[in-house]
Amino acid sequence: MSEVAVAAGRTAWRGRVGTEAQPAGARLDVRRALQLGLAAIWLLDAVLQYQSFMYTKAFGQMLAATASGNPSAIARPITWDATLVEHHLAAINTIFATIQLLIGLGIAFRPTVRLALAVSIAWSLGVWWFGEGLGGVLSGAASPLNGAPGAVIIYALLAVLLWPADRGIAAPFTAARAVGVHVARGLWLVLWLSLAYFTLTPGNRAPQAISGMIAGMESGNPGWLAALDRSAASLVSGQGLAASIVLAVALVLIAVGGYLPSRATEVTLVLAIVVALVIWVFGEAFGTIMTGGGTDPNSGPPLVLLALCYWPLKSTDGLKAAEGKAA
């Protein structure tokens, strides 16, 4: 075969592989990308659960502490679970971490995404109770700055909204594809209004409440992050009520954003992402994952992912979502 023919063949092969127009179904599906984001969070949780700290008695003590302030019907099972973990620490923690690893891998692997999402919902509900004490929502300690209503319950909400099913009509945003526009907007409204409510509870609007919460995140974190926390705590020192009102107003605007016209919705979604990141950095110190004792990145990243689930789709994206195969 001549060199000219070989070169021509190579050029044709490259053209067939990389330059031809892709069919609509082969293009990146926004929902699939968001599912992979959720998978990444689960995989991070698994890695954190495998940390050496989780194989010490401190992990059981951490679980037991979530019972504080909860009704006895909620607190007693938490205490029982914490005791069980302490007595069989290595085995149970390894099981916990492995389940989270398998959930993450299952969501990332397309053929098992449905099963993995279903398992993630069940596992999230269990962890929300036994690992997070229902996010403190019944103890009076819940605050958006400490991760309320619980990061893992947001995982469950994401699994529902990213379920690989379509209702047969063009969806204005990804979260509406499986559950419909009205249900998706209702879930968004309830979540963000609940965060606004928690912000304004008496314990959170006390003069030093927010400042003390932020300052309490310094311990064990790198110097640069501790310095950020100290600066933020100083900024809101004695301003608990004012800071709570400002945060609550922002959260209410975010809550109603889903019912606004598309352009205004985008603005409120950007606000939601900014608020989530501010909470993650200053209120949650990146979920304390840099201290060696964090079990998850807390609520900041899943809130960002949730906001992206509601980002308005272009009309062509909505039609493709309705006509294409489920992710």
> Any residues with CB less than 8 A from the CB of 101 and at least 6 apart, and which?
42, 43, 46
Residue 186 CB coordination number (10 Å): 13
In sequence order, what are the beta bridge partners of 173? 312
Q: What's the pTM?
A: 0.87
151 closest CA partner among 47, 15, 286: 286
In a domain, 22, yes or no: no
Mark the ranges of the chain whose per-residue pLDDT is less than 50. Answer: 1-26, 316-327
Q: Say how far residue 236 (Cα) sits from the centre of its chain.
A: 26
How far apart, in whole angstroms, are the C-alpha atoms of residue 323 and residue 327?
A: 12
Number of independent structural domains in the chain: 1
The pair of structure tokens assigned to 86 is 């302490």
In a domain, 8, yes or no: no
- Residues 28-75 have pLDDT tens digits of 699 999 999 999 999 999 999 999 999 999 999 999 999 999 999 999
Residue 176: C-alpha distances to residues 13, 20, 94, 221, 302 (Å): 40, 32, 36, 39, 17
pLDDT for position 315: 58
Domain encompassing residue 77: 29-323
Residue 22: C-alpha distances to residues 27, 102, 164, 245, 309 (Å): 7, 32, 22, 50, 24
Q: Could you give phi then psi for residue 51, rounded to 5 degrees?
A: -60, 150
In a domain, 24, yes or no: no
In a domain, 172, yes or no: yes
Residue 33 CB coordination number (10 Å): 12
In a domain, 20, yes or no: no
In a domain, 259, yes or no: yes
In a domain, 89, yes or no: yes
Are 107 and 145 in contact by the 8 Å Cβ rule? The answer is no
How far apart, in whole angstroms, are the C-alpha atoms of residue 66 and residue 57?
A: 15
- Residues 196-245 have pLDDT tens digits of 999 999 989 999 999 999 998 888 889 899 999 899 999 999 999 999 99
> Any residues with CB less than 8 A from the CB of 9 and at least 6 apart, and which?
none
Residue 5's region, left for phi above 0, alpha for psi from -120 to 50, else beta, is: alpha
pLDDT for position 140: 85
Helix (H, G, I), strand (E, B) or coil at 312: strand
pLDDT for position 170: 83
In a domain, 7, yes or no: no
pLDDT for position 28: 65
pLDDT for position 320: 47
